[in-house]
Structure 1
Amino acid sequence: MKKIFLTTILSAFLGCSLFTSCDDLLETKNFTDMSPSNFFKTEGDMDAAVTGIYLPCTTNWGYGDGGTGGWYNALFNADLAAYYPSGMITTDMVCAYSSNVYDEFNVGPSTGGALTNTYNIIRFVARATDIIDQISKSSGATEDIRNRFIAETKTLRAFYMYTLLDWFGPVNVKLDPEKLMDNTIEPRPSLDTYVGYIEKDLNEALETTSFPEKYNADADNWGRMSKSIAYGIRMKLYMHQKQWAKAKADAEKLMSMGFSLMSNYEDVFNVDRTSEHIWSIPANLASDNFYVTEILPSDFKRGYNHLGKSYIRGGEDSFKPGWQAYCMRWEFYDTFEDKDIRKNTILCEFDAIDGSHKNRSTMRGAIPIKFTDTQFDNYGIQKAHPVIRFAEVLLSYAEAENELNGPTQNAVNAVKQTTDRAGIEIPASALANKDAFRNFLLEERGHELYCEGQRRQDLIRHGVYISRARERGTNAQDYRVLFPIPQTAITEAGGILEQNPGYTN
């Protein structure tokens, strides 16, 4: 198998060539000309096809989709037109330069941008369905190899379905290969049915004996789906649905698979393929991670954390302007204890290139630099974006255990791994009862996982997403825990697709 994220050009070719053009977002008729007789003749053919399904999973800008003729931001690109940053600025982050429809809770069906970019992965669910079907019919590889590719594709399909669930609720995904050529629009399924789709894919992938447990020691395949990632996605699904016993069981499984926290928090973001990474999106010269440039101000020269430690962009004489799309709200920054070493990865003042000095009186928010190895001269960095890491597993285990049994010693022990590394203590007040520990865990998750795309789901699960937005002065309404289905999809469906409650065009 070839290294996933060194095959960006191949992936783009697959996305634009193997899936023939169609006019409408939901249309899938003739979207592929692959068949067992003309394409899947070798293991390499299968590998290439599966690699193409990863097209939205990159930190680079995005991809041209031959199926729609459109261009879409990748899910993990750091621009505000992408999935995780746009969701993030509805929480503890804020658009750095002006108000934004996401941080103001004014997203509508015709907003476009991240809304359309995220919804487009519904097409990759259908493409995964086609590839699973065709691999199962091919004789071009051994049964173990075919099953491995099918498990990989089902895990990725499950992640895409989970992402759609997170933003839009249940959507009308295509999972029946016999209906892929049928352009009939199906209604949206019930929540239980849709969750069952995701669960089924992950269960079947995890039952596959030839599906590798992880690729952390394999640089050529790190970033591919594996059993540990499947457990992580299923854990996230169960947390989303508040199925605490199942979430706890998956967290426990991951806690037995050899993962552990790095001793130094900063190393998690500056070193790849560590014991803490369960799933990260690799970046390299062919596929940059633009996070640091997206959060640095355009006139940034040297930044300082609360201890006065400085970080510079590249060498002393090197300058690449930042684009500062978003920053950390000061009210959230102030919730970190000064002795919390995670606060050291956030800049609260900086020297500008014109010789002036900026601080919180002139900055809209703090700079959540996170990737503190800033000695690079390009716009992008070659550092992986973490999607699921072991710290999240420990905190999810503690939350599920607390919901089931209260703040037990096992729950405390799990959280202490993250707080000990951060150099802070769990306050005695947090152990008073289930509610107190739940509230502490929400804030600990915010401090540990900031800017990693987790916060929106966490706040929704704890029932404070809308109330905190209102406290900031927005007019957030309860229905905005989901984003609207794009109007283009509603229109194309001719009344078959039901819009999420509360939204009008």
Structure 2
Amino acid sequence: MKNSFKYILMGIALTGATLVSCDDLLETKNFSDMSPSNFFKTEGDMAAAVTGIYLPCTTNWGYSDGGTGKWYNALFNADINAYYPAGMVTTDAVRHYSSNIFDEFTVGPATGGALTNTYNVIRFVARATDVINQIGKSSGATEDIRNRFIAETKTLRAFYMYTLLDWYGPVNVKLNPETLMDNSIQPRPSVAEYVANIEKDLEEAIATTSFPDKYNGDELNWGRMSKAIAYGIRMKLHMHQKEWAKAKEDASKLMTMGFSILNNYEDVFNTSRTSEHIWSIPSNLASDNYYITEVLPSDFKRGYSHKGDSYIRGNESGHFSGWQVFCMRWEFYDTFADNDIRKKTILCEYDTNDDVHKDRNSGMVGAIPLKYTDTQFANYGIQKEHPAIRYAEVLLSYAEAENELNGPTQSAINAVKQITDRAGVTIPASAIAGKDAFRTYLLAERGRELYCEGQRRQDLIRHGVYISLAKARGNNAKDYQVLFPIPQNVVTEAGGIIDQNEGYTK
């Protein structure tokens, strides 16, 4: 590929997807006007089609979906109407600055916003099915190239299916190319059937010899799916399903693929394509990352990461302000030890544009989870990539799976120690006293290491404390709210064929 993947991706995002022509989330009539005879004639044709499947994977605002004629937030956009921020504010780590239905567990089938934006990736599962089928029928490139594109698309399809499983449980995705233009609506599959289909995609992708292990050394293709990403997605799936032996196996494989922990925590978010990055969402001048603006207060001038510290982040001219959407809960901030180096990426005090000093006792609703420190916030967007899967998560997942299988073994402790050593903290003796103690410690350590990266909701659900922690914060959360509701228009249009998630029915 001669052109940078991330710029090609942005070009497609600006023009919108044009692979389908239906008007709603269920209809698939006239799904595709492409065929081997009129489109997939060259490697470039295939590359364009595959790159179009990445449309929801951007840090920019979102995309215009030519299939529905509507606009959707991208999965990794930092707006509260996107997948990962909406999920974050339901947790003990992050809160919305003001009233928010996700924060308060009052999301319903008609909510819209992040609920609909996230569900829309079901259409990209169907598009991926079409592209896989079309490439398989084409002779427009070598077999190795065709197989590479198919493996890439299967990995991406698996990720979208995992995302849907995370929020809604199994949904009626279209995986059979023969039925893509069939508008009959199928019921939702069982969890076992759905998970098996994700595993099948990833297993076949990993087995493809022409599928690259990783793209860390390839700036032009950085952000594309790879074998390492396929292992990472499968690891996350197995963690989600509590299949500990399988999760440990995938984590162990990734631990042999040349990844490692960086010496400096801040470098993980300020530097691209390092040994710690497995999959990052590209950002550039054409496709900004607006995370910083979402977390900065509206009157922000400069901030401090430690009380009385001279460690300053900000725009000294005072012309920049944030949108003040979400922040870190003080209770979660207090779980970091005073000497934890990761606290340097979190602001606990700041000066306003009028040089009024604010802290938790004088107007700060929560700490500012800065994460990206190599910027003076001169613009609303920054050119920093969002880490979707990184090696620290692999080590923590390995330790958790190993603990569930065998207790706090030395190999599990050593995996976590790579992370705590960098943070400048030690694993307390009480944390390794037994399986239960280590499990509790690992949940807390995952929160500190992976804060605001979109993992926390999944972690709390897996550990069985998601709802109880919400109740402790004063929310009237119900047990069934470990899943979000299927958008009401989907259930209505299905005419009773698609079941609504438990608890959300009228």
- Band the TM-score falls in, shorter-chain normalisation: over 0.9
Q: CA deviation at 1:321?
A: 1.6
Give the equivalent residue in structure 2 for 1:456. Answer: 457
CA distance in 1, matches of 2:391, 2:501: 34
Would you say 1:354 and 2:354 are equivalent positions?
yes
Q: Distance in 2 between matches of 1:470 and 1:65?
A: 38
CA displacement 1:266-324 (0-9 Å, x = unmatched)? 0000001100000000100011000001100111000011252433334x225222001
Task: Give the drift of 1:3.
Answer: 2.2
Aligned match of 1:27: 27
> Aligned pair 1:145/2:142, yes or no?
no
Q: C-alpha offsets along residues 144-173 of structure 1, whole Å, 9 cap, x if unaligned? A: 000000000000000000000000000000
Question: Shift in Å at residue 98 of structure 1?
Answer: 1.1
The superposition leaves residues 21-58 of structure 1 with CA deviations (integer Å, 9 ceiling, x where unpaired) of 22222111112211100000000000000000000000
Equivalences for residues 151-162 of structure 1 within 5 A: 151-162=151-162
Deviation at 1:7, TM superposition (A): 1.5
* Aligned counterpart, 2:214: 214
Q: Provide the rounded CA distance (Å) in 2 between the counterparts of 1:310 and 1:427.
A: 28
For residue 254 of structure 1, what is the aligned residue in structure 2?
Answer: 254
User: Which residue matches 1:495?
Assistant: 496
CA distance in 2, matches of 1:291, 1:456: 18
Please state how far the C-alpha of 1:239 moved relative to its aligned partner: 0.3
- Identify unmatched segments of 5+ residues in structure 1: none
CA-CA distance at 1:9 after TM superposition: 4.8
Tell me by how many angstroms 1:372 deviates.
0.8
Distance 1:347 1:251 in 2: 32
DSSP 3-state at the match of 1:301? strand
* Structure 2: gaps (5+ residues): none
Alpha-carbon separation, structure 2, partners of 1:278 and 1:127:
25
For residues 197-255 of structure 1, the C-alpha deviation after alignment (integer angstroms, 9 at most, x for no partner) is 10000000000000000000000000000000000000000000000001001000000
The equivalent of 2:482 in structure 1 is 481
For 1:338, what is the secondary structure of its paired residue? coil
1:173-212 equivalence runs, <5 A: 173-212=173-212
Amino acid across the alignment from 1:83: Y
Matched, 1:432 2:441: no
In the alignment, structure 1 residue 265 sits paired with structure 2 residue 265: yes
CA contact (8 A) 1:232 1:250 kept: yes
Secondary structure of 2:17's aligned partner? helix
| CA displacement at 1:14 relative to structure 2 | 6.8
Identity %: 75
1:334 alignment partner in structure 2: 334
Query: Does the 8 Å contact 2:93/2:456 carry over to 1?
Result: no
2:409 & 2:25 partners in 1: Cα distance?
49
2:264 partner SS? coil
Match for residue 467 of structure 2? 466
1:418 corresponding residue in structure 2: 419
CA distance in 2, matches of 1:162, 1:311: 39
Contact 1:311 1:374 survives alignment (8 Å): no
Q: Does 1:324 align with 2:324?
A: yes
CA distance in 2, matches of 1:452, 1:16: 27
Paired residues, number: 503
Alpha-carbon shift at residue 137 of structure 1 (Å): 0.2
When normalised by structure 1's length, the TM-score is: 0.98
**TM-score normalised by length of structure 2:** 0.98
Cα distance between partner residues in 2 of 1:13 and 1:432: 54
User: Which one is further off, 431-440 or 368-377?
Assistant: 368-377
What SS does structure 2 have at the residue aligned with 1:377? coil
Residue 275 of structure 1 pairs with residue 262 of structure 2: no
Secondary structure of residue in 1 paired with 2:392: helix
Corresponding residue number in structure 2 for 1:38: 38
- Give the C-alpha shift of residue 4 in structure 1: 2.2
Cα contact 1:108–1:504 (8 A) shared by 2: no
In 2, distance between residues paired with 1:369 and 1:319? 19
CA distance in 1, matches of 2:115, 2:483: 11
Amino acid at match of 2:364: M
Measured after TM superposition, the shift of residue 8 of structure 1 is: 3.7
Aligned-partner Cα distance in 2 for 1:193–1:120: 21
Residue identity matched to 1:85: P
After superposition, what is the alpha-carbon deviation per residue over 1:431-452, rounded to whole angstroms, capped at 9, x for unaligned? Answer: 1110000000000000000000
Structure 1 residue 375 displacement after superposition: 2.3
Contact (CA 8 Å) 2:36, 2:138: kept in 1 or not?
A: yes
Per the alignment, in what secondary structure is the counterpart of residue 245 of structure 2? helix
2:382 is aligned to 381
2 CA distance for matches of 1:65 and 1:487? 20
Separation in 2, partners of 1:392, 1:182? 40
Structure 1 consecutive aligned stretches of length 4 or more whose deviation exceeds 6 Å: none
Which shows bigger deviation, 201-210 or 303-312? 303-312
Task: Indicate the SS of the match to 2:272.
Answer: coil
Which sits farther off after the overlay, 25-34 or 166-175?
A: 25-34
Secondary structure of 1:7 counterpart: helix
Q: Which amino acid aligns with 2:349?
A: E
- Cα distance in 1 between the residues matched to 2:310 and 2:427: 26
